[in-house]
Each structure stands twice: as C-alpha cells, then as structure tokens.
Amino acid sequence: MRSSEANRIYFDRAADQLDLNENMRQLLLTPRREVQVQIPVELDSGAIATFIGYRVQHNNARGPMKGGLRYHSQVDLDEIRALASLMTWKTAVVNIPYGGAKGGIALDPTSLSTRELERVTRRFVDNVHDLIGPDVDIPAPDMGTSSEVMAWIMNQYDKFHGFSPACVTGKPVEYHGLPGREEATGRGVGLLTLKLLSRLGRRIPGTRVAIQGFGNVGTHTAKFLRDAECRIIAVGDATANFHSEKGLDVLEMIRYVHSNGGALAGYKGGDAISHQELLFCNCDVLIPAALGGVLTSENAGHIKAPIIIEAANAPTNPAADAFFDEIGVTVLPDILCNAGGVTASWFEWVQNRQHYQWGMNRVRQELDRILGEAFEQVWQLASTKKVSLRTAAFMLGVGRVHRATALGGIE
Ligand code: GLU
C-alpha cells in the first residue's frame, strides 16, 4: 500500500468522527504545492551524479509550513507527500503555529563524502530557495540529515536572501541553533511513554523496552527511559540488533555508535539477535524509531509488546493498526509521540526571530509542558469518544486545521 493511501485511511476515520463533508476532505488532503528538482553534482572522483529532490508543501492554514528534509535511497514523491500531511496534523496536535511540509532527496548519505553531501545540499537550496523561507516553509532535520546539513542550508539560503537564521531549524547550537533541539524528539518520546505507562496504571521502573532504530531519536529515547529506570532489553539498527534480559548498557552503546560511524555493528555488550527477533521479543514496550512501514499485517500477529510507541513516522500500516486496536495493543501515534522535534524547532525559530538565546532548562520545561498538554487532550478525546489514541490525535489535528481553514476562508 502506498504511504499516502495509508494516511487517507487514518484521516478518513477522524474525518468521519468530525463529520467533515467530501469537499472539505478534498481541500484538506490536497497539497498546496509539490516540487521535484534535478540535482546534478560533481562527485569527488570528477564524475557527475544526478539526484532527485522533492519538497511537498501540504497546508498553511495555521501558519508557515514546517517539516524535515530526508536523505534516504527510498525517498519518492508519494512518501514525501504522505509525510508532509503528517506534519500538518502533527503541528496542529501540539498546537504550534505551523502548517506541514516535507522534503527529501533520493540518495544514500552513507555512500557520499561530506563534501559531496554539502554540494548536493547547496544545489538543492539553489533550486528551492524561492519556495521556502522563515514565513513560508522551514526545513529541519529528518532521517539521514543532521545539524551540519541544516547549517549548509542556512548558509546557502543567506547568499540569496541575506542573514535569515529562521529559514531552517535544527542547526548546530554554535550556528544559531537551540540547546536541546537535538535531544527533543527522543526526550518527547520518552516523556510521553512515561505518561502513557502512568495512565495505563503500569509501574515505570523495570519496564522492559525494545527499541528499533538507534539514530538521533532512538539514542535519546533510550537514554531518557534508562534515566527513568526502565530496562532497555533490546536495541537494533540497520546494521545489527542486540538483546539482554538484564538490560543493555545504553550509555556504552551510545558511546560505541558515536565512535563507529553511527552504526551498532560490531558491538560486544549483548546477545546478537535478528531484526525480526527484536520486533517479536518479549517486552512491555516496543518503540519503532527508524523507517516507516515496519509493522504490517504479516508481522503484527507476532508482536508481543502490549504497548507500541511510534517514535518513527508512519511505522504501522493500517492493517496492523486495525489488528492492534482489535486485540487491545495500545499504540501511541507518531503525530503525537514524535512531535517533540518540531516543537523544539518552533522554539528555535522564535529564538532566531527575536535574536535571543534560550537556555536548556527553558527549552525542556516548555517542551514538557506543550507535549504534556497535547497528551492529555488526546487521551481525554480518546476516552470520551471511545476511539483509539491515533484516531483521537487525528481528530484533534484535523479538527484544528479544519477550523483555521473555515475561519480564514478560501477567497
Ligand atoms: N523531521 C521531524 C519530524 O518529522 C522534525 C520536523 C521539524 O522540526 O520541522 O517531525
């Protein structure tokens, strides 16, 4: 199933509850603009490579469009379109004044040198600089991109438009970035996991957690939950997966991946298991924190975790989601669960526009407050309407975008 079809199913479930008519659904689902650009660059070898870049600007009813830029070999227009719409609902769920967008370049970042990645990034900005900007559409990191890539984006954008730090978020702290932005998505995932465990009446210390994906989001989530005395019993990435019933040494694993080019391969502190064994392991909480589409109708029946925390975007396809709903597995949906990143992006944007510096304590405090409020609203809506947390989150997000659209009008 295509990513955008999957999203349509989740959207329609919420739209039915909200009683939206077909014309309004069409308006809310149709992206404002989709661009595809050619990115020719000279490789270090002197050869020329041509990449394809995308930016989908989904909706700006509630503010400038906002969303990450993904570097991955499987990036295509349909995936970016689906992820852009998720950003629209995500910014609305946490009630920050943005719409939604997403971009991507189809490439494997591990196969390019830093200089090559920089050339690709700057060339992409050359192509889209007139379509983005602090009041229009603000990119940020996503899978395969980092604060370094964001610095290149700002620097290249500035060449056309002058000093504009708010044109992109997720920048290095030393280069107009925000302390706490890098950890924010994982911190939010961890925080909301604890809130959910409490709401479900479960004891937090000793909770057995499995995390699939050990990049920025996975590592910070692991660290946060470890600090809250959860037991991280399984961790994996694209290169290796490890298990330890008595708990993995998360801090040692993080040090290892930082010294090993970001990969877990070769780690010695746990029992090596397969990717499938990680997903199917006996645990209390399963956290997909990498690619989309990992939980499907084929594997859903083998998942033993009673709680699934969607740190990744769109990790659960609709058939698996329906199955989990039916058998009583609780799924904390992506558009709420991983919204900490874009929320901290908002702080960074505000800081840049005010030419003021925020401190880490303030970032954490405001982040925790905003995510906590959104969680309570979604939880209450799910309880009163007797719907899943995903449908409640979509109802909250889609409902807010619908109201802004109706209030602004379309003339
Ligand atoms: N890429 C992140 C997401 O999917 C962050 C987006 C942002 O900060 O704009 O939410």
Distance CA 354, CA 315 (A): 36
Identify the band that residue 294 occupies on the pLDDT scale cut at 50, 70 and 90. Answer: very high
Q: If you measure from the C-alpha of residue 141 to the centroid of ligand 1, how many angstroms do you get, rounded to a whole number?
A: 6
Sorting pLDDT into bands at 50, 70 and 90, what band is 396? Answer: very high
Is the separation of the CB atoms in 270 and 278 below 8 Å? no
pLDDT at 1 over 80: no
Concerning whether 102 is annotated as a catalytic residue, the answer is yes
Pocket flag, ligand 1, residue 343 (CB < 6 Å): no
Pocket perturbation via mutation, ligand 1, pick of 60, 88, 142, 154 by most ligand atoms within 8 A of CB: 142
| Interatomic CA distance for residues 262 and 266, integer angstroms | 12
What per-residue confidence (pLDDT) applies to 192?
A: 98
pLDDT range class, residue 175, cuts 50, 70, 90? very high
The mean pLDDT of 392-407, rounded to a whole number, is 97
Q: Does domain 182-332 have CATH number 3.40.50.720?
A: yes
Q: How remote is the CA of residue 334 from the centroid of ligand 1, in Å?
A: 11
5 has pLDDT over 90:
no
Q: Do domains 31-163 and 182-332 have the same CATH topology?
A: yes
Residue 407 clears pLDDT 90, i.e. is over it: yes
Q: Give residue 306 CA to ligand 1 midpoint distance, Å.
A: 27
User: Which residue's alpha carbon is at the smallest distance from atom 10 of ligand 1?
Assistant: 342
pLDDT band at 226 (very low <50, low <70, confident <90, very high): very high
Average pLDDT value for residue range 45-49:
98
Centre of ligand 1 to C-alpha 143, Å, is 9
Give dist(CA 278, CA 283) in Å, integer.
10
Question: Average pLDDT for residues 44-56, to the nearest whole number?
Answer: 98
What confidence tier does 410 reach under pLDDT thresholds 50, 70, 90? confident
Q: What is the DSSP letter of 70?
A: E
Whether 182 lines ligand 1, by a CB cut-off of 6 Å, is: no
Which pLDDT does position 360 carry in this prediction?
Answer: 97
Q: What does the domain layout of the chain look like in residue ranges? A: 31-163, 182-332
Q: How far apart are CA 332 and CA 393, in angstroms?
A: 9
* Three-state DSSP string of 108-128: CHHHCCHHHHHHHHHHHHHHH
Structure tokens at 403: 């109201």
Question: What average pLDDT does this structure show over 372-393?
Answer: 98
Q: What are 106's strand-pairing partners?
A: 72
Residue 390 structure tokens: 């995903």
Ligand 1 mutation target, pool 70, 86, 98, 185, most atoms within 8 A of CB: 185
Which residue in 90, 102, 171, 223 is the catalytic one?
A: 102
The Cα–Cα gap between 70 and 101 comes to: 12
Predicted pLDDT of residue 193: 98
- Please determine, for residue 255, whether its predicted confidence score (pLDDT) is greater than 80: yes
Bridge partners (DSSP) of residue 316 are 295
Distance between CA atoms of residues 62 and 188, nearest Å: 22
Strand 69-72 and strand 100-106: the pairing is parallel
Q: Whose CA is nearest to atom 8 of ligand 1?
A: 342
Which pLDDT belongs to residue 395?
98
For ligand 1, whether the C-beta of 342 sits within 6 Å is: yes
Q: For 61-85, what is each residue's pLDDT tens digit?
A: 999 999 999 999 999 999 999 999 9
Would you say the CB of residue 341 lies under 6 angstroms from ligand 1? yes
Topology of domain 31-163, CATH: Rossmann fold (3.40.50)
pLDDT band at residue 411 under the 50/70/90 scheme: confident
Q: Is the CB of 168 under 6 A from ligand 1?
A: no
What is the average pLDDT value for the chain, to the nearest integer? 97
